[in-house]
Amino acid sequence: MRLPDEPELPLQINIVPMIDVIFAILTFFIMSTLFLTRSEGLPVNLPKASTAKQQQVPTRITITVDDKEQVSLNRKPIAVDDVTEQVRALVGSNSDVLVIINADEKVDYGRVVAVMDRVRKVEGAKLAIATQK
């Protein structure tokens, strides 16, 4: 029971803790999305150009030399002597092809050089060697 002298207090909902939680969640999502971007270069301020165009990603061909010195072209085993013909067939008339060599660190250096030499015989194929950071 309420006494007649008691003033009636208005009901209030305190939303400050809810706002704090929302800002904490928002900060978490902003910080986590900053780590999702992957940059291969150093952070610089790039110049602006009105005639800039988006570069197309070149076609990629992967040659793998595993620790048993088995050579594979796009995950299909091949002989070292067939590398030039197979890569030439994949390149075709496309002049913008990137050939990536994934070689195990235990593979003989001469084996990797033999594969690289055969890839260099193909016109229009750019050569890259995959490494870990």
Query: 92-119 burial, b for 16+ CB within 10 Å, e for fewer?
Result: eeeeebebebebeeebeeeebebbbebb
Q: Say if 22 falls within a structural domain.
A: no
Instruction: Specify the higher pLDDT residue, 47 or 22.
Output: 22
| pTM for the whole structure | 0.57
Q: Say if 41 falls within a structural domain.
A: no
Burial of 69: CB neighbours in 10 Å, binned 0-12, 13-18, 19+: middle
pLDDT higher than threshold 80 for residue 51: no
Q: Say if 44 falls within a structural domain.
A: no
Calculate the average pLDDT of the chain: 80
Number of domains in the chain: 1
The tokens describing 119, both together, are 């890839």
Give the model's confidence band at 21: pLDDT under 50 very low, under 70 low, under 90 confident, else very high: very high
Quote the CA–CA distance of 71 and 77 in Å, as a whole number.
6
Q: What is the pLDDT of residue 59?
A: 77
**Span 86-130, pLDDT tens digits:** 888 888 877 778 888 888 888 888 888 999 999 888 888 888 887
- Provide the domain limits for residue 65: 59-129
Q: Say if 12 falls within a structural domain.
A: no
Q: Say if 6 falls within a structural domain.
A: no
CATH of the domain at 103: 3.30.420.270
Burial of 33: CB neighbours in 10 Å, binned 0-12, 13-18, 19+: exposed
Q: Say if 34 falls within a structural domain.
A: no
Q: Say if 107 falls within a structural domain.
A: yes
**Span 54-68, pLDDT tens digits:** 555 567 888 888 888
